[in-house]
Structure 1
Amino acid sequence: MSDETASTEGWTDRDIDAVAGELRAADHAVALTGAGVSTASGIPDFRSEGGIWDKFDPNEFHYQRFLADPTTFWEKRVEMHEAAFGGDVEPNAAHEALAEMERAGVLDAVVTQNTDGLHAAAGSESVVELHGTGTRVACEECDSRFDAAPVHERVRDGDVPPTCEDCGGLLKPDVVLFGEEMPPGAFQAARNHAQDADVFLAVGSSLSVQPAASLPRLAARNGTLVVVNLEETPLSGTADYEFLADVTEVLPAVAGRFL
């Protein structure tokens, strides 16, 4: 861990070299990603002003609403999904940089709060999805998983609520809905990564939403904490390195040190 906190609105080659050196020396390095990693791909933030929850009522996506009226839930779900992910949504330079660092052997896992599936699309193989992924649906009866795109098409064609091809059970987006608990296995895996981390990168996250916000605090007890975000976070005074900058610029600069 560095002797003093480094905070900068820009950065120098020395800053990037220092973080790359920490990663190179680490036995275990992990990245936590938030909405700021996805917005550069054209995906709107959910909670910010003008975001998805300004256009849709979050109560429409509560688990109890899903159980009580799955037809309306699915109609609203597809409408919201098109508003958030419509068009050509692809991984951006930040996703690709994290995948490059994993291939270079200096990043062991990505823990993400996002449900867009873009880390896997960019080539990251060790991904812990804290809130699931909108690219899949899951059967409430037999727990089978299916690609979401054909199911969304079925809903558009009036096949609502969609049911499982295997057992006829009700299908649900494979994400954590309001009123549902985070899968304990996913969060425990994330905690294990944070506890073991010599270097923890917190990127594109406000670090204000629990329980994910507890992970960098846990990692900072024994390891080096690097925060990359456009705005200051509750851990601005704790981070060993803080870059108040665009994740699509900082992460490729770091990844470039391993090419």
Structure 2
Amino acid sequence: MKPIKELGTEITAARAVLRDARKVVVLTGAGISTDSGIPDFRGPEGLWTKNPEAEKTATLTSYVSDPELRQRNWQRLSEGSMWEGKAPNPGHRSLVELERLKKLHLLITQNVDGLHRAAGTSEERLVEIHGTTSKVRCLDCGDTAPMERALERVRAGEADPPCRLCGGILKSATISFGQNLVMADLHRSEQAATECDVMLAVGSTLTVYPIANVVPIAHQAGAQVVIVNAEPTPFDGLAAAVVPASISEALPLIVAP
């Protein structure tokens, strides 16, 4: 990652692409939220690096088979979310500006922190491809409910609150390892990639599949690709512009009319 003052050429190239865009699809990853104080998962200060059990909790087979693991997870959640008190940063807000300019076709996020929603991105333009921590879902009947309702039950003494409809196992409405994506969300994302004229990938390593495929799908359909990420990605060679900078600094400059 370079200081923003050294990236004038890259910023100018990215701005030129966005200036002429009519339909932009955005894919965001963990990098857009790090300036909000939310660590990534696998980096030196990452959630899973510092707490390996958290990664185990995110594995469906472990979560389902280990009641004690679930109980510890519910207790941890009841004591406060890892992003409690975290707020959207200028990177999130710049994508709301892109929608205000009527250029945002779809925003696909790999994040489950809810910061795009909190920033003001509208529901009809947002796909949370890996789900959200704001809700719980029953693994048996599929019923969903607000996360806070489940946490109130934990604080009231239920160590592993079951689904109130069928008694099944509850977990956060996020996509765990070993769990399928919501196919309607994936199809919507891939369809939007074929329709856009710019694919803007922000803060994503572009190594998590199948959602990373939206970048080459868009490129093959004729869209220009812009990548804003601190580290190189596998698709940098496809891009019309690559900006290796702080997202909260660079993205507002790129999106500004």
Give the TM-score normalised by the residue count of structure 2. Answer: 0.86
Q: Which residue number in structure 1 is paired with residue 206 of structure 2?
A: 207
User: Residue 43 of structure 2 corresponds to which residue in structure 1?
Assistant: 48
Q: Deviations over 1:64-99 (max 9, x none)?
A: 233223453142255279686244111111111111
Relative distance call for 1:247 and 1:41 in structure 2 (3 A) is same
2:239 corresponds in structure 1 to 239
Residue 86 of structure 2 corresponds to 89
Rounded to whole Å, the distance in 2 between the matches of 1:45 and 1:190 is: 23
Does residue 18 of the first structure (1) align with residue 19 of the second (2)?
Answer: no
Find the counterpart in structure 2 of residue 174 from structure 1. Answer: 173
- Secondary structure at the aligned position of 2:177 is classed as coil
Q: 1:81 to 1:159 in 2, by over 3 A?
A: closer
Distance 1:180 1:62 in 2: 8
- Aligned residues of 1:34 and 1:206 also touching (Cα < 8 A): yes
Mean CA deviation greater in 53-62 or 236-245 = 53-62
Long gaps (5+) in structure 2:
none
The match for 1:122 is 119
220 and 176 in structure 1: CA distance in 2 versus 1, 3 angstrom threshold: same
Amino acid at match of 1:20: L
CA drift at 1:255 = 3.2
Q: Which residue of 2 aligns with 1:3?
A: none
Q: Alpha carbons of 1:82 and 1:205: their partners in 2 closer, same or farther (altered >3 Å)? A: farther
> 57, 63, 66: which is aligned to 1:66?
63
- Classify 1:171/1:252 alpha carbon distance in 2 versus 1 (closer, same or farther; 3 Å): same
Aligned length: 247
**Mapped partners of 1:220, 1:145: distance in 2:** 36
Are the structure 2 counterparts of residues 82 and 225 from structure 1 closer, same or farther at C-alpha, using a change threshold of 3 Å? farther
> Structure 1 residues 202 and 40, CA, compared in 2 at 3 Å: closer, same or farther?
same
Alignment-mate amino acid for residue 200 of structure 1: M
Find the counterpart in structure 2 of residue 198 from structure 1. Answer: 197
Contact 2:78/2:151 (8 A) holds in 1: no
Query: 1:231–1:138: structure 2 CA closer, same or farther, 3 Å change rule?
Result: same
Paired residues of 2:64 and 2:169 also in contact (CA < 8 A): no
Q: Shift of the alpha carbon at 1:124?
A: 0.7
Name the TM-score, length of structure 1 as normaliser: 0.85
User: Aligned AA for 1:219?
Assistant: A
Deviation of 1:15 (Å): 3.2
Contiguous gaps of at least 5 residues in structure 1:
1-7
Q: Identity of counterpart residues, as a percentage?
A: 36
Query: 1:162 — aligned with what?
Result: 161
When residues 44 and 133 of structure 1 are mapped into structure 2, their CA distance, relative to the original with a 3 A threshold, is same
